[in-house]
Chain A
Amino acid sequence: MTSVPLVSVFSADDSTKVTAKHIPLPAVFQTPIRPDIVSFVHTNIAKNRRQAHAVNPQAGMQHSAESWGTGRAVARIPRVSGSGTHRSGQAAFGNQCRKGRMSLPIKVWRRWHRRVNIKQKRHAAASAVAATGIVPLVLARGHRISQVPQIPLVVEDKIESYEKTTDALNFLKRFGAFEDVQKVVSTKVVRAGISKQRGKKYRVRKGPLVVYFNENAKLLKAFRNVPGVEVVNVTRLNLLQLAPGGQLGRFVIWTQSAFAHLDKLFGTYRYASVLKDGYQLLRPLLTNPDLARIINSNQVQEKVQPAKTTTVLHEVQKKNPLRNTKAMDRLNPYARKQRAAAIAAIKANTKGTKKIKKNKALKKASRAAFNKVSAALNDATNAAVQEEQDIKVKYFSVQKGAAQAE
């Protein structure tokens, strides 16, 4: 139901009756929604209603206070002169002092107002008007529009001649706008803070905005006392009303002539505005915003590369293959057989290697050679030992002989 290019005009007395069918939507409703422009313009424009204020320039300075200087075991801040009262000798003038003047006292020549480029203001207004025709934005802003037959709601000019508030109320009820009014009533709260003592006792929400065209319309008085409802002439559309708080999507009720006047006010994409000199509506970045259709079109899909497949090269956790049979099998499928053979060999009580064909001849020959060498060694050792024994025997016998001789 958003951005309907054709709009019906409803009868003021009966919300089911349509007095004019298929009125084309003014081009303003097709302008791009630019929340950045709107919030920039809003923050600046909102400052323009401010009234200058300032602190008394003499506040906190009406003393002949002087610093006592150093050497008196007190801080060097200026102190009130004189005696005979508590106040004398107390600190004065500084922003940190009690009863002192504030730092950087507010002056009336503070720059209260902001100027905004006309084009920016116009673009913001156009964007805000466009947003009033988009249901999700109006809902998001918090308006209760579930019973409203159409957004944008365009009603015949009859309401411009309403004089009684009852007529206004009944009209709102007929078109499901009363729920929004009820929201305003039920959420009226006493404001927090000192402003309540300064004439702003209540915080009241915004309800519907009624936009009319004829200057001598009486509906202002009829709608004036309905809480939350604002009435404005279409030639004086105010961004502060169309996007309160910088939030797009005010619930707007247009009269037929006001609605028709929008094309003259803002112009279309075919011709510039008549009433705003030289103003041309902002053009959108995308002429075709249907991204799904663009992406899935043949032209794009032909050029598109195949989707990258994420192939994980290695397992997330490294397991020790020497202890983990699954990890080992992944790396070396032969290991399983080796292990099975080893276990079988152990069970068969043989050495754990494959039966090697032994070169028996060679083994025998080398064994023989070894035996020969060891035998030779043995003989040599025995011979040496025997020789030593002989020498010893000879020596002792010689000794014995000598002893015997003596």
Chain B
Amino acid sequence: MSQKKPQMQVEQKVPENIVKKTARDTKLREAVAKRRTDRLAANKTRRAQWEKNAQAYQNEYQAADKSLVDNIRKAKTEGGFYVPAEARLILVVRIRGINTLNPQVRQTLRLLKLRQLHNAAFVRVNKATIEMIRKVEPYVTYGYPSRAVIKNLIYKRGYAKINGQRIPITNNNVIEQQLGKVGIHSIEDLIHEIVTVGAHFKEANRFLWAFKLRGPRGGFIAKRRSFINQGDWGNREDLINDLVKRMI
């Protein structure tokens, strides 16, 4: 518009809301920066702790291996036999699909987290779980996983159940957020808990989503038969490790 005629005289002053907003914004910015520095410092201490724990676990595992060998040798010298403790942990792998399932079998497989073909899950060994596995035996194969297999499963195929969502375990915050309160802060803590079936195995296992494995390279022998009968289903004890290595 030409001939702009100001009706009111306005002083060149910064409007009040802008002054307030800039003050508020600087305060927020400072808070964010401080949060960041605090977080970075905390992360440093956390990482040191993870390293320390991982080293402690490595020593523990090696000591366990060594003691097993020592015990066997000792038994040999005495002319006897060393019987190691029965496995406390089972890895169950579903080898049958979803069609034409007995409802009880269906439900039990769900309880074991095995909702899909080639799903694998850790199960603690006790009377209750043994009975459950017996119910679904022709549909699964199971055995006692080695430390290496447990480790590889969790590193490569490890996903967490957070708020009903399947979240990949890409950093230890995922673990810390859910399991920090039971003393599991890093992935090595988690693996240790699973391997040793510790006091918080329940929380640790519940935290894990079922492992979604691929079909085994080289195939199954015969899923229609039990493992004992030159087939695949049922308990195959330590040989589960060979199978799962082909399925990871």
List residues of A whose CB falls within 8 A of some B CB. 1, 4, 6, 8, 15-16, 22, 135, 146-150, 176, 292-293, 296-298, 301, 307, 313-315, 318-322, 327-328, 330-335, 337-338, 353-354, 356, 359, 362-363, 365-366, 368-370
Contact = CB atoms under 8 A, between A and B. Distances in A.
Given A296-B20, A338-B58, A320 B2 contact: no
Interface string B155-170: 1100000100001111
Nearest to B20: A296
Interface string B1-20: 11111010000000001001
B140 to A, nearest CB: 26
Interface of B: 1-5, 7, 17, 20-21, 24, 28, 47, 50-51, 54-55, 58, 62, 66, 70, 73-74, 76-77, 79, 152, 155-156, 162, 167-174, 177, 186-188
Given A147-B2, A313-B173, A332 B54 contact: yes
B70 A362 contact: yes
8 contacts: A15-B3, A176-B2, A297-B17, A298-B20, A322-B156, A332-B50, A332-B186, A338-B58
Contacts of B5: 8, 150
A354 to B, nearest CB: 7
Contacts of B47: 333
Nearest to A320: B156
B170 A330 contact: yes
Contacts of A1: 1, 4
Contacts of B177: 313
Contact of A327 (B3, B162, B170): B170
A331 B171 contact: yes
The 7 A-B pairs with the shortest beta carbon distances in the complex, nearest first, are A334-B54, A318-B168, A296-B17, A366-B73, A315-B170, A334-B51, A331-B187
B2 to A, nearest CB: 6
Contact of A314 (B1, B76, B174, B188): B174
A253 B170 CA distance: 70
Given A314-B168, A334-B51, 6 more contacts: A148-B1, A314-B169, A322-B155, A333-B47, A337-B51, A338-B58
Contact of B55 (A307, A314, A320, A334): A334
Nearest to A298: B20
B174 A146 contact: no
A206 B124 CA distance: 85
B77 A365 contact: yes
Contacts of B79: 369
Nearest to A334: B54
A124 B97 CA distance: 69
Contacts of B188: 332, 334
A307 B155 CA distance: 35
A76 to B, nearest CB: 55
B156 to A, nearest CB: 5
Contacts of B2: 147, 149, 176
B76 A318 contact: no
B152 A322 contact: yes
A341 B187 CA distance: 21
Contacts of A359: 70
Contacts of B20: 296, 298, 301
Contacts of B173: 313-314
B50 A334 contact: yes
A370 B75 CA distance: 11
Contacts of B54: 332-335
Nearest to A318: B168
Given A313-B173, A332-B186, A362 B77 contact: yes
A366 B170 contact: no
Q: Which of B50, B73, B172 has the most CB of A within 10 A?
A: B73
A335 B50 CA distance: 11
A333 B51 contact: yes
Nearest to B190: A331
B162 A313 contact: yes
Given A331-B187, A369-B76, A146 B1 contact: yes
A84 to B, nearest CB: 77
A61 to B, nearest CB: 64
B138 to A, nearest CB: 33
Given A322-B156, A332-B187, A359-B70, A366 B172 contact: no
A392 B188 CA distance: 67
Contacts of B17: 292-293, 296-297
A331 B7 contact: no
B62 A356 contact: yes
A1 B6 CA distance: 9
Contacts of B162: 313
Contacts of A307: 28
Contacts of B167: 313-314
